[in-house]
């Protein structure tokens, strides 16, 4: 999914858990696997990906056929792990699952997909945030409901990985240290924020910013811990597939 300013987006989003989010995941996987392929439908996003000796980045347009995936990304039945960071809800799932099964190793290839949900700071800030978030609802794409649902209702036709009885969601969290300006930048990175702006609606109007300032405390430069919940669906491809 293309974004107007991917540099700001990366700065404003959570970066740890062990770096489970966005393009930073490739750097972590590169420490565990000999070869990693990072893909995105946005060439702009890939331009900001960190260069690593064992990571290859491939621009994969949404209409790339299966033969193109086999040619540019991975050969059939050759992949140990597919990860989807904060993008699962944008996929055409039946088509994606067919593509994933075609490249995962039968009976042991794993698919892991995760999202992060709304940040937690403290009672006062969170109360302002939730008023804003509820008010932003008309400006989110319908797919966003999957994130609000923490991927619980998503069709996920894979078997549990060894040692687990189900495919999740499994809950984690990650923390980011932010002052108020960082926190407001995160809100401006929402797709709903830009959509609202295009419709002539300013979600962070003066009154809302003043509410955040009052809730944050006397010093907007005070750095607070912002916690993002993360929800993971994970499973392995079925042997008969």
209: domain CATH number is: 3.40.50.150
The structure's pTM equals: 0.84
Look at residue 47 and tell me whether its pLDDT is greater than 60: yes
Asked if the structure places residue 74 within a domain, the reply is: yes
Residue 13 lies in a domain: yes
The widest CA-to-CA distance across the chain, in whole angstroms, is 61
Total number of domains constituting the chain? 1
68 is in which domain, residue-wise? Answer: 6-236
Q: How many CB atoms lie under 10 A from the CB of residue 23? A: 19
Beta strands in the chain (DSSP E): 36-40, 55-59, 81-85, 110-116, 170-178, 224-236
**105-152 residue pLDDT tens:** 998 999 999 999 999 999 999 999 999 999 999 999 999 999 999 999
Name the pairing type of β-strands 36-40 and 55-59. parallel
Q: What is the pLDDT of residues 53-86, one digit of tens each?
A: 998 999 999 899 999 999 999 999 999 999 998 8
Q: Which of 170, 45, 157 is nearest to 104 (CA)?
A: 157
Task: Classify strands 110-116 and 81-85 as parallel, antiparallel or unpaired.
Answer: parallel
Per-residue pLDDT reduced to its tens digit, 20-44:
445 567 778 888 889 999 888 888 8
In a domain, 1, yes or no: no
In a domain, 184, yes or no: yes
């Amino acid at each position: 999914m293309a974004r107007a300013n991917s540099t700001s987006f990366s700065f404003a989003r959570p970066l740890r858990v062990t770096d489970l989010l966005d393009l930073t995941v490739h750097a972590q996987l590169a420490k565990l696997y000999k070869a990693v392929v990072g893909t995105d439908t946005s060439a702009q996003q890939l331009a900001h990906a960190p260069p690593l000796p064992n990571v290859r980045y491939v621009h994969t347009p949404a209409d790339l056929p299966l033969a193109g995936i086999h040619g540019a990304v991975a050969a059939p039945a050759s992949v140990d792990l597919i990860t989807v960071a904060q993008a699962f809800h944008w996929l055409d799932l039946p088509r994606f699952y067919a593509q994933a099964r075609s490249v995962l190793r039968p009976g042991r290839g794993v698919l892991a997909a995760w999202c992060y949900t709304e940040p937690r700071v403290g009672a006062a800030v969170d109360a302002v945030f939730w008023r804003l978030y509820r008010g932003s609802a008309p400006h989110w794409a319908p797919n966003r409901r999957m994130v609000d649902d923490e991927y619980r209702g998503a069709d996920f036709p894979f078997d549990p990985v060894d040692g687990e009885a189900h495919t999740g969601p499994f809950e984690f969290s990650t923390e980011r240290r932010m002052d108020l300006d960082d926190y407001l930048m995160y809100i401006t990175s929402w797709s709903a924020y830009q959509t609202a702006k295009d419709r002539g609606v300013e979600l962070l109007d003066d009154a809302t910013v003043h509410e955040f300032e009052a809730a944050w405390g006397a010093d907007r430069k005070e750095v607070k811990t912002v916690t993002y919940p993360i929800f993971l669906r994970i499973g392995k491809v079925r042997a008969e597939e």
